[in-house]
Amino acid sequence: MIELFKLNHTLSFPALELALDEPNGLLAFGGDLSPARLISAYKRGIFPWYNAHEPILWWSPSPRAIIRTEHFKANKSLRKSIRKHGYTASLNTRFNDVIEHCSSVQRHDLNNIQASEDSISSNTWISPDMLNAYKALHQKGYAHSVEITNGSGELVGGLYGVVVSGIFCGESMFHLQTDASKAAFLALCTHMKMHNLLIIDCQLVNPHLEKLGCVAIDRSEFIDLLCQHQQTVDCWQVQSLRL
């Protein structure tokens, strides 16, 4: 029988060492998705992930999937596709549209995790409660989006995530045209490298993420990275991004 820590009205979480081995990283349940709780969780290497009609589940898996921004390289075919479609990138210009597009992407539930071209993390779906929670985080300056528009000015791809301790915690991506989500990822990596931000948290490894340069590290190493990257870099204002 699995016994889990139940969160209460405080923002405390159990020690990460209490996370289950199976399912990997399950730590606690309950609580809410308030901005204060979400930021408290992300700063501890914890994130929410749950299926519809379940209580909120909180996770901190080991190993942890990360991408080092300097290791992501755009190949010639991606560069060619970007030019062909006339893609341009921006930051935080259409956060609500991006997360709503991400929520409409058909994904798999927690019991059937499969790789997807639009997987930047382990999240499989985005409920109305999650939508509202991350929109609130965006209003407070913690959640950010990258948008890709085509030559006609249409939003055709993007991604969003949460920035804590200088680390971008990726949540989800979407694309409506070929390579648009990859273009968003390229724009994110380029922007982060320009500001010496080196780590993207992808939560769980899958084959698609491995193609982007994802590696698995021990949970303790990931927590060390969170502690090492405490600087606040003011680079998340609305702006155009390089591709």
Q: What is the 3-state secondary structure (H, E, C) of 53-111?
A: CCCCEEECCCCEEEEEHHHCCCCHHHHHHHHHHCCEEEECCCHHHHHHHHHHCCCCCCC
The confidence score (pLDDT) of residue 122 equals 43
43 and 69 together in one domain: no
Domain co-membership, 156 together with 101: yes
Which H or E run contains 180? helix 180-194
3-state secondary structure of 47: strand
Average pLDDT on 2-10 reads 89
What is the extent of the structural domain holding 40?
5-59
CATH number of the domain encompassing residue 45: 3.30.70.3550
Are 190 and 243 in contact by the 8 Å Cβ rule? The answer is yes
18 and 47 share a domain?
A: yes
Calculate mean pLDDT across residues 3-29. 94
Rounded-to-integer distance, Cα 231 and Cα 229, Å: 6
Find the range with the poorest average confidence among 5-9, 86-90, 189-193, 230-234. Answer: 230-234
Residues 39 and 77 in one domain: no
Pull the structure tokens for residue 105.
Answer: 């992407």
Task: Say what percent of the chain tops pLDDT 90.
Answer: 77
- pLDDT tens across 144-192, in order? 999 999 999 999 999 999 999 899 999 999 999 999 999 999 999 999 9
Q: What is the pLDDT of residue 113?
A: 37
Q: Are residues 184 and 78 in the same domain?
A: yes
Residues 88 and 115 in one domain: yes
Q: So what's the pLDDT on residue 62?
A: 97
Res. 136: pLDDT tops 50:
yes
| 95 & 15 share domain | no
Most confident of 114-118, 162-166, 219-223: 219-223
Q: How much is the pLDDT for 228?
A: 87
Q: What is the pLDDT of residues 22-80, one digit of tens each?
A: 999 999 999 999 999 999 999 999 999 998 788 999 999 999 999 999 988 889 999 99
Cβ within 8 Å of residue 105, ≥6 positions away: 116, 118, 172, 174
State residue 52's pLDDT score. 75
Q: Are residues 73 and 50 in the same domain?
A: no
One domain for residues 70 and 172: yes
Instruction: Inform me whether the pLDDT recorded for 131 exceeds 50.
Output: yes
Residue 115 confidence class, pLDDT cut points 50, 70, 90: very low
